[in-house]
Amino acid sequence: MTDTTTGALEAELDELRDWLRDTWDPDLTVGAWWERLGMAGWAQPLLPRDAYGRGMGHAESLAVHREIERHGALGAPTGLGLLLAAPTIATHGTPDQVARYVPDIVTGRRAWCQLFSEPGAGSDLAGLSTRAVRDGDSWIVNGQKVWTSGGHLADLGMLLARTNPDVPKHRGITWFAIDMRQPGVEVRPLREMTGSTMFSEVFLTDAVVTDDARIGDVDDGWRVANTTLTFERTGMGGGGRSLPPARPGTVTGDLSLRAGDLVAARPGPAATPSGPRQSPAADLIALAARRGRSGDPVVRQALVRLHVLGELARVSGLRQRAARAAGHDVPGLPSFTKLMMGDALRLRRDLGLRLLGPAGTLHGYTDEERAGLTSAAPGVASPIVTGQALAAQALPIFGGTDQIQRNILAERVLGLPKEPGDLSQVPFSQLPRNA
Ligand SMILES: Cc1cc2nc3c(=O)[nH]c(=O)nc-3n(C[C@H](O)[C@H](O)[C@H](O)COP(=O)(O)OP(=O)(O)OC[C@H]3O[C@@H](n4cnc5c(N)ncnc54)[C@H](O)[C@@H]3O)c2cc1C
């Protein structure tokens, strides 16, 4: 996945504009439109050309997504299939596997989830214990996954399973593309404190995955998983693009909606306010003014801290993207940026709730409940601020917790010694466990 030069990018964008003029039709269904977009290589331009992409870099890919939006067409599908599964399969899969899985992803026909974390394996992902045992041309899978984002909406899962417990933990894991719609896979949605259902627990009981759905070699899944995790950490192509109000896959039914209706429902580029960029603290500055707290020195200090942190996180993100576009990395910058974003979210949570006072505890779990709160107590409750405060815990956990980011910075950037008690060479079956 290389970066294109400015001239080459302009040529690609010209080609895209012509293509959009000839191809976009608001009367198409979402499925039919995504079919065209995906098969033309515009859904995930970061993928290589021989894997239904355009071999572009991050900045160029973002320019493609913005051009689609500027044209007034429905944006490309999104989700873990596009962000993680497709680039992983493009990197480690055989040409047959690329042809089998990637078209369904770039066209949004199938949705994917990530079956990595387990109740006993999160930060220490290599300690996972879901087992896959060979049975002829298939593997039989038993175990439990948790935190599975979109598990209840997924057609396929990126499964990590232990295929050899007698070697050190990183060396006995295999990466599979498993069918989620089979009797051996039970998905139990979890309701979070925000009121939404983002994750599920997934129970695998004699679930079957065929050997031709194995991505990479047997027992070499840690290497494949690291590709997936790298794309997760770098948020492949996601940052900066508006997400389409339609979800991929067979479960939601969104593919049969009229594409034009969804574009009409979203604020288009014309509706985007022009002029100077707003402060990352703008909404809380306005809330402080509404609550008559703009003169409170503690509130003012927190607002300034939030502005500075938000700006630092933004420019660090830009720096990271620029470095990637130039083909290199700034050591530790992704960890540092993630930590700053987590700090900004926590500060936003604390300040928002301080401004709302007791009304900050009023929260609706559904759209109707939230609308009811706003109309019953106008100007008192703010379901948006409370909702953001409740969701602020997510970022400091997923994609590597804050503590893990600090470990990375300590060991890989500052050169501090590794944690004591290294068990990486002990066979998985001999690792000490809780009783
Ligand atoms: C919003 C969200 C979406 C997610 N989506 C998915 C998904 O789709 N698929 C999936 O597989 N997983 C998903 N996850 C799971 C996520 O990857 C894990 O929650 C994360 O890796 C942490 O693992 P854990 O929850 O088991 O915590 P643990 O690893 O048990 O950690 C518990 C605490 O101990 C600390 N800790 C652990 N090890 C160390 C150490 N070595 N040094 C210092 N402190 C340490 C941690 O920082 C944490 O505070 C998601 C999580 C969230 C919040």
- Ligand 1 atom at minimal distance to the Cα of residue 150: 8
Which atom of ligand 1 approaches the CA of 118 most closely? 26
Distance CA 106, CA 48 (A): 12
Q: What pLDDT is stored for residue 232 in this prediction?
A: 87
Is pTM beyond 0.75 here? yes
User: Would you say the C-alpha torsion 39, 43, 49, 54 has a positive or negative sign?
Assistant: positive
Of 8-17, 298-307, 370-379, 413-422, give the lowest mean pLDDT range: 370-379
Whether pLDDT at 174 is above 90:
yes
Amino acid at 356: L
| pLDDT score at 60 | 87
Average pLDDT over residues 140-144: 98
Does 218 sit in the ligand 1 pocket, CB within 6 Å? no
Partner residues linked to 258 by β-bridges: 29
Band of pLDDT at residue 212, cut at 50, 70 and 90: very high
CA 66/CA 13 separation, integer angstroms: 10
Tell me the CA–centroid distance for residue 400 and ligand 1, in Å: 6
Q: Is the CB of 117 under 6 A from ligand 1?
A: yes
Give the Å distance between the CA of 232 and the centre of ligand 1: 14
Reported as a single tens digit per residue, the pLDDT across 51-75 is 999 999 888 888 999 999 999 999 9
As given in the structure block, the two tokens for residue 22 are: 């000839």
Ligand 1 atom 44 nearest Cα = 403
196 lines ligand 1 (CB under 6 A): no
Neighbours of 268 (CB within 10 A): 13
Amino acid 240: pLDDT: 58
Looking at the predicted structure, is the pLDDT value of residue 306 above 90?
yes
The pLDDT tens digits for 322-371 are: 887 777 888 888 888 889 999 999 999 999 999 999 999 988 888 888 88
Which residues form the catalytic set? Answer: 232
Q: What integer pLDDT is reported at residue 392 of this predicted model? A: 94
Taking the centre of ligand 1 as the mean of its atom positions, its distance from the CA of residue 128, in whole angstroms, is 13
The band of 271, judged by pLDDT with boundaries at 50, 70 and 90, is: very low
- Residue identifier of the C-alpha nearest atom 31 of ligand 1: 123
Residue 227 has pLDDT above 90, yes or no: yes
Predicted confidence band at 239 (pLDDT cuts at 50, 70, 90)?
A: low
Angstrom distance (rounded) from CA 248 to CA 90: 19
Interval 408-428: pLDDT, tens = 999 999 999 988 888 889 999
Average pLDDT (28-52) is: 97
Kindly state if the Cβ of 410 falls inside 6 Å of ligand 1.
no
CB 203 near ligand 1, within 6 Å: no
Atom of ligand 1 nearest to the CA of 401: 47
Instruction: HSE, CB side, 13 Å, CA atoms: give it for residue 194.
Output: 16
For helices 30-39 and 95-106, what crossing angle results, to 10°? 140
CB 130 less than 6 A from any atom of ligand 1:
no
398 Cβ closer than 6 Å to some ligand 1 atom? yes
Tell whether the model's pLDDT for residue 321 goes beyond 80.
Answer: no
On average, the pLDDT of the chain sits at 91
Quote the ligand 1 centre to 123 CA distance (angstroms): 5
* Choice between 282 and 276, residue whose per-residue pLDDT is larger: 282
The stretch 167-176 carries a mean pLDDT of: 97
In the reported structure, the alpha carbon of residue 397 is separated from the centroid of ligand 1 by a whole-number distance in angstroms of 5
